[in-house]
Amino acid sequence: MVDTLQQKLLIVDDDSVLQSFLQDFLTQKGFEVNGLLSGEEIDAFLQTNDVDLVLLDIVLPGKDGYHWLKWLQENHSGLPVLMLSVKDECDDRIHALELGANDYITKPADPRELLARINNLLKLTNTKNSSRRVQFGAYTFELERCNLFHGEDMIRLTTTESQLLKIFCENQNKTLSRDELTFKLRGNEHNPYDRSIDVHINRLRNKIETDPARPVYLLTTWGKGYRFVLDE
C-alpha cells in the first residue's frame, strides 16, 4: 500500500480537447492527472480517489464552477483549487477568490505559466498544512493536507479514507457512531442498510494496521461504533 510521492491533479472542464492536451502535458511533468467533463462527477470521484489540487472551469454543463468551488470548500476544505476559465473579467476573478479559490488563470493559458502556478500552489499548500501532525507508531498523518506517511514513504489514501482518518485523529479515544461518521463525512444521516462506512473502515485498517484482524489503533466498540486510540 506504500506509494511514491506523485502528486495528483484533477481537471474539471467540459472541453475534451483541452482536457487531453493538459493531461498529456502535465503527465509529462510528473503528475498523475485525471479529468472530468462536469462538476456532477466530482463527488463520486473524490469518494474513491485522492487529489492534491483541482483545476476547475467556471463554465460547465449543469451547475457552474462557482457552485462546485463552494461545494469543495464545504466538503474538502483542505484541497487547493485553481480556477481555469475563459472568463477574464476582474469581477469573475474576484468572485472566485472570494469563494475560496487559491488562484485564477484565464484560458488559453501558457502551459508553462499554468505549470508554474500549479507548482507554487502545491508548494505553498504543503508548507502551510504540514505543521499539524498526529503520530501513531511509525505513521505520521498531516491533518490539513490529509497525507499519511509510514516513515518517509507516503501511503495513498482515497479522499474518504483520508477524511475518516482526519475525523478520528480529531476525536481521539472517542467512540463515533456510524451516524456521526456519516454526518461528518457527507452531512446527512446514516442509512442503516448502508454498509459503506464499514467498508471504508476496513480499507483504512488494511493501510494502518499491522494485523487488520487485530487492530491496535482503529478499534470497534461493539454496538456503538469505532474509536481511534494512540495508546491502548
Residue 207 near residue 157, CB atoms below 8 Å: yes
DSSP 14-40: S-HHHHHHHHHHHHHTT-EEEEESSGG
Distance CA 2, CA 165 (A): 17
Query: 2-128, what's its fold?
Result: Rossmann fold (3.40.50)
Per residue of the chain (232 residues), give pLDDT as tens. 333 356 889 999 988 899 899 999 999 999 999 999 999 999 888 877 778 899 999 988 999 999 999 998 888 877 889 998 887 778 878 888 888 888 999 888 889 999 999 998 888 766 554 446 888 989 999 887 788 999 888 898 888 899 899 999 888 888 999 888 888 887 755 455 567 889 999 999 999 999 999 999 999 999 899 999 976 4
Distance CA 129, CA 106 (A): 27
Cβ neighbourhood burial of 94 (10 Å; 0-12, 13-18, 19+):
exposed
3-state secondary structure of 100: coil
CA distances to 167, 168, 219 from 212, in Å = 19, 17, 10
Query: 159-228, what's its fold?
Result: Arc Repressor Mutant, subunit A (1.10.10)
- The ranges of the chain annotated as CATH 1.10.10.10 are 159-228
Whose CA is closest to 105, among 64, 122, 115?
Answer: 115
- The ranges of the chain annotated as CATH 3.40.50.2300 are 2-128
3-state secondary structure of 146: coil
pLDDT at 193: 53
How is the beta sheet containing 103-106 ordered, strand by strand?
Answer: 32-36, 8-12, 53-56, 81-85, 103-106
Q: For Cα atoms 57, 48, 45, give the angle at the middle one, nearest 5 degrees.
A: 25
**pTM for the whole thing?**
0.57
